[in-house]
Amino acid sequence: MTGLIRKPWGHEYCAYRNEHVAIWVLHITKGERTSLHAHPNKNTALIILRGTVELEFIRGRHRVMTGLDKINIFRGRFHRTRAVTDAVLLEVEAPGDKGDIVRLDDDYGRAALPLETGTEPIDEHCLRISESGCHHDFAACGLMVSRPSNGFDLPLNFGTTLIITLRGGLRGGLLPPGDAVDAISFIRMASKFSPIPGSQFLQIWKSE
């Protein structure tokens, strides 16, 4: 795992990594925003854990998101995240290649600069996602990795739960690693397309 990486807009660090995906925690300070960037070779999912952000795309369209809103951003799509309030996000990469980024525009003059690297250790307040089935409390959310034999034995809170595929997915090529979906949609799909054996899913729900 990399250390904590300081950014002009806040900081980030890696909370989970396997051979298919990496999950990063982003803390964005109110009023700051990331570069307008794209990932040529990977898909990403953004999940808002706490706070409110405004997502901007290359043609100027905007989308306001708050906890637990999510969006799947496909490879090559330019996007930028501005924090309306102090915000905590998860960024799910598939595959987990942090260097797969091109910056079109940046408020801090980094468009042509190399990617920042982590130099600070991660402390006990940072999220580290375990595959052991442990329940994590972080940013007013609960998180837990599950290995279901079918779609119905996930301990879901349907009102707020999101599901992220870490390994495997659903039969028929649905929900490959890195995809994020709400629990109701997951259960409906899993009733017909059961999880691939050995699949792992990260559940996220509001705990407050």
Task: Give the domains, in start order, of the chain with CATH numbers.
Answer: 5-105 (2.60.120.10), 136-206 (no CATH)
Q: Tell me what the mean pLDDT of segment 150-172 comes to.
A: 80
Q: Which residues contact 148 (CB under 8 A, 6 or more apart)?
A: 154, 195, 199, 201
Separation between Cα atoms, residue 114 and residue 101, nearest integer Å: 10
- What is the model's pLDDT at position 133? 77
- What is the model's pLDDT at position 148? 82
Question: Has residue 198 got a pLDDT over 70?
Answer: yes
The structure tokens listed for 33 are 């925003």
> Considering only CA atoms, which of 127, 200, 129 is closest in space to residue 170?
200
pTM metric for this prediction = 0.93
Compute the mean pLDDT over every residue in the chain, rounded to the nearest whole number: 91
> Considering only CA atoms, which of 112, 38, 53 is closest in space to residue 86?
53
- What is the model's pLDDT at position 55? 96
Q: Tell me what the mean pLDDT of segment 180-201 comes to.
A: 92
> Considering only CA atoms, which of 40, 80, 39 is closest in space to residue 56?
80
- What is the model's pLDDT at position 45? 96
Question: Has residue 121 got a pLDDT over 80?
Answer: yes
- What is the model's pLDDT at position 157? 66
- What is the model's pLDDT at position 22? 97
Question: Has residue 49 got a pLDDT over 60?
Answer: yes
* Structure confidence at residue 158 as a pLDDT band (50, 70, 90): low
- What is the model's pLDDT at position 114? 79
Question: Has residue 153 got a pLDDT over 70?
Answer: no
* Structure confidence at residue 152 as a pLDDT band (50, 70, 90): low
Question: Has residue 28 got a pLDDT over 70?
Answer: yes
- What is the model's pLDDT at position 111? 87
Quote the DSSP letter at residue 174: B
- What is the model's pLDDT at position 112? 81
* Structure confidence at residue 86 as a pLDDT band (50, 70, 90): very high
Question: Has residue 14 got a pLDDT over 90?
Answer: yes
Strand ranges across the sheet with 102-105? 62-66, 52-57, 79-83, 36-38, 102-105
